[in-house]
Amino acid sequence: MTSYLFFSGKGGVGKTSMACIHAVRYADQGRRTLIVTTDPASNLADVFEQEIGHHITPIAGVPNLYAMEIDPDQATKEYIDRAMAPIRFAFPPQMVQVMEEQMSGPCTAEVAAFDRFTDFLDVPACKEETFDVVIFDTAPTGHTIRLLELPAEWSQSIETASAGSGQTCLGPAAAIQDAKLKYERALAAMRQSSQTIFIFVLHPEAISIKETRRAISELKKLDIENYRLIINGIIPPEGTQNPLFAARAEMQAHYLSEIEASLPYPKQQMGLLPSEIKSVERLRQVGSVFFDGNPNLKIEDSIIEAETLKPIQPSNLQLSHLLTPNGHRRTLFFAGKGGVGKTVASCIAAVWLARQGYKTLLLTTDPAAHLGDVLGVPVGAEPAPVPGAKNLWAANIDAKAAAETYKARILDNARQRGRPESAIQIMAEELDSPCTEEMAAFDKFIEYASQEVWQVVVFDTAPTGHTLRLLELPMDWSKQIDVKIFASVDTAAADDVAKQRFGKVIEMMRDPQQSAFAFVMYPESTPILEAWRAARELSAVGIRPSLVVANMVIPPEQATTPFTRSRRSMQEKYLAEIAERFQVPVVQIPLLSHEIKGLAMLAELGELTYQQEESRVS
């Protein structure tokens, strides 16, 4: 019987590294192993240092190990081709084109990726090779949970459409009835504790613990019960010889006790390493530490003497033209790999701007929103003043609530225009599909970003792959609404308004006088490559990065031990790479002895990061 391992957790905690370590170990034991990622911003190829892509690929140097990175675009094409195959012979070409256009939205990409993912869980229908172990390196937790919730939603969507128009955003209902059974079998496999384990990777930090608790609570609602924990990034004894890391180790000890008391599941620990995990050889070395309890790896050749370490000066001068309004409202977008500190970076910028006197709105659409955790105050679904922070408002856009409001508005508008009840019913069916939440969250963002009352809007985005799909929504949605009239829903007038509204926002994003995109990253290989890919995707729609925020940079004066010198040396190499790749100003947020939380600390870091010589506005 095939064993399934799901690696999940907050972004940036080391899910991919731990998944790859397990994959190499199982393959070395002679078990035929496959590692699959559903993360739209995959890093498997970076870790294994070889091309992988959207097909099962042997991993060089590891007999029995194969990998696959599910490509959302390719999975979508395969999904549409399969769903539309029986339709093409039964309907006129014009109608087939309309149906294909209706499946062209970003929701279908998410559906298709999950559909491809379930191929490896659905044994009765599986046409893939047989494996002893299948490891899923999942996307960050909030997104993963939504994927796991989708089968029930899809089943409802299929059933509703079958009784109505026969068409859904997933494709023709009749053509995907088999999918319903496949998804139910996949979910059943996830519930088999003898076959499936969910492994949560977390850091001994408050937000990571909270995220793990929330994810387990959501999975229990789906009757998934078999969990393990890997507590990653624990500072080793040799690291505590430095005062900064000693203080962080003391903080970690507190959270390790909390994890032990509040998360009663099997646990393993993994220490913070002096250098990054890349290559098969390195994965085997780290595996010997993790699985066999060997002493921590010896620090390698990357150590250099303290006197040769040189501080990389942050280019945090002359940034006011990027951050502050310049005759227009300014919108700031913080993007990057999950877990690199986008929320912290966006909160620092928002608090700093508010303290300069600008009326500032801080927003997030991330399903795992942590604005309140970082600000140290509750943040609701509607903009509200942040207590203790003059000029600052914040909101966590709730996608589920936004979807209900969005649906009601569209249907009410159709009724007011006198549309027949049959057309209203068709629209209601479309809006009940799993696509609507993502569209509604973006629509809600546009509503706030378009309000004239704000001088600055700071947008703490979801992880990179998800963010890019949000940004692509206006174009994809416009494509869909162009052809919706063929489904007997005449919404041309409303669609024209929506196009103008979306078009205006996209133009705002492209205008450097109005918007700035800041990529947040650790000075490490994987976050840099992920941000670089995201920047190229954005440039394809005319949006270019304005700023890079390098987070958790070890201050040079703290590089006083072999362990800290090794990590600082690694960071220096990557800080230089960041400057070379992006060719934009780079600001640095230092690694601190404690977590960043609360308005006072955010204000202090804002002055350190963005201090300007210009006098503050009144």
Do β-strands 3-8 and 133-137 pair in parallel, antiparallel, or remain unpaired?
parallel
Query: Where does the pLDDT of residue 540 fall: very low under 50, low under 70, confident under 90, or very high at 90 and above?
Result: confident
Rg from Cα positions in the chain: 25
- Whether residue 63 has pLDDT greater than 90: yes
Chain segment 238-254, per-residue pLDDT in tens: 888 889 999 999 999 99
- Whether residue 422 has pLDDT greater than 80: no
Residue 133: strand, helix, or coil: strand
* Cβ atoms of residues 106 and 175 within 8 Å: no
Query: Where does the pLDDT of residue 305 fall: very low under 50, low under 70, confident under 90, or very high at 90 and above?
Result: very low
Once rounded to an integer, what is the mean pLDDT over residues 188-192? 84
Residues that are catalytic:
12, 14-17, 39, 526
Q: Find which of 136-140, 347-351, 564-568 is predicted with most confidence, using mean pLDDT.
A: 347-351
Q: What's the pLDDT at 148?
A: 52
Domain segments of the chain: what residues? Answer: 3-292, 320-400+446-479+493-610
Once rounded to an integer, what is the mean pLDDT over residues 446-450? 79
* Residue predicted with more confidence, 405 or 20: 20
Chain segment 352-388, per-residue pLDDT in tens: 999 999 999 999 877 666 888 899 888 888 889 999 9
Residue 594: partners with Cβ closer than 8 Å, 6 or more residues away: 247, 248, 251
Minimal CA–CA distance to 527: which of 21, 8, 47?
Answer: 47
What residue ranges in 406-475 does DSSP mark as E strands? 456-460
Do β-strands 57-58 and 65-69 pair in parallel, antiparallel, or remain unpaired?
antiparallel
Minimal CA–CA distance to 511: which of 318, 362, 330?
Answer: 330
Residue 411: partners with Cβ closer than 8 Å, 6 or more residues away: 424, 427, 428, 431
* Cβ atoms of residues 568 and 552 within 8 Å: no
Fold of 320-400+446-479+493-610: Rossmann fold (3.40.50)
Q: What's the pLDDT at 528?
A: 86
Which amino acid, 221? K
What residue ranges in 203-265 does DSSP mark as E strands? 227-234
- Whether residue 325 has pLDDT greater than 60: yes
Lowest mean pLDDT among 75-89, 189-203, 304-318: 304-318
Query: Where does the pLDDT of residue 482 fall: very low under 50, low under 70, confident under 90, or very high at 90 and above?
Result: very low
* Residue predicted with more confidence, 618 or 19: 19
* Cβ atoms of residues 79 and 111 within 8 Å: yes
Q: How far apart are CA 130 and CA 150, in angstroms?
A: 26
Tally the residues of the chain. 618
Lowest mean pLDDT among 22-36, 70-84, 309-323: 309-323
Query: Where does the pLDDT of residue 600 fall: very low under 50, low under 70, confident under 90, or very high at 90 and above?
Result: very high
Minimal CA–CA distance to 571: which of 584, 554, 557?
Answer: 554
- CA 452: distance to chain centroid? 29
For 61, 138, 449, the CA distances from 64, given in Å and listed in that order, are 10, 21, 51
Q: At what angle do helices 492-510 and 399-416 cross, to 10 degrees?
A: 140
Q: What's the pLDDT at 299?
A: 43
Instruction: Report the phi/psi class of residue 598: left, alpha or beta, with left for phi > 0 and alpha for psi in -120 to 50.
Output: left
When the pLDDT of each residue in the chain is averaged and rounded to a whole number, the result is 78
Q: What are phi and psi of 57, to 5 degrees?
A: -125, 130
Residue 171: strand, helix, or coil: strand
Q: Find which of 130-139, 140-149, 231-240 is predicted with most confidence, using mean pLDDT.
A: 231-240
* Cβ atoms of residues 130 and 31 within 8 Å: no
Lowest mean pLDDT among 52-56, 405-409, 437-441: 437-441
Lowest mean pLDDT among 220-229, 329-338, 469-478, 563-572: 469-478
Q: What's the pLDDT at 613?
A: 34
Chain segment 94-107, per-residue pLDDT in tens: 666 666 665 655 55
Lowest mean pLDDT among 17-21, 265-269, 304-308, 444-448: 304-308
Q: At what angle do helices 436-449 and 492-510 cross, to 10 degrees?
A: 60
Q: What's the pLDDT at 489?
A: 40
Once rounded to an integer, what is the mean pLDDT over residues 44-57? 88
CATH among 3.40.50.300, 3.30.499.10, 3.40.50.10490, 3.40.47.10 for 3-292:
3.40.50.300
Residue 587: partners with Cβ closer than 8 Å, 6 or more residues away: 314, 315, 316, 319, 547, 548, 549, 550, 609, 610
For 104, 110, 214, 467, 559, the CA distances from 169, given in Å and listed in that order, are 8, 11, 29, 21, 55
Hey, what are 130's tokens?
């047989």
Minimal CA–CA distance to 464: which of 331, 586, 333, 338?
Answer: 338
Minimal CA–CA distance to 394: which of 335, 448, 355?
Answer: 448
Minimal CA–CA distance to 306: which of 571, 558, 554, 522?
Answer: 558
- Whether residue 143 has pLDDT greater than 60: no
Q: How far apart are CA 468 and CA 355, in angstroms?
A: 30
Same fold, 3-292 and 320-400+446-479+493-610: yes
Chain segment 516-534, per-residue pLDDT in tens: 899 999 898 878 887 888 8
Q: What's the pLDDT at 152?
A: 52
Q: By percentage, how much of the chain surpasses pLDDT 90?
A: 28
Q: Is the dihedral of CA 383, 384, 385, 386 positive or negative?
A: negative
Once rounded to an integer, what is the mean pLDDT over residues 399-405? 80
Residue reference for tokens 């093409």: 88
Once rounded to an integer, what is the mean pLDDT over residues 118-135? 72
What is the pTM assigned to this prediction? 0.77
Q: What's the pLDDT at 534?
A: 80
For residue 224, what is the enclosing H or E element? none
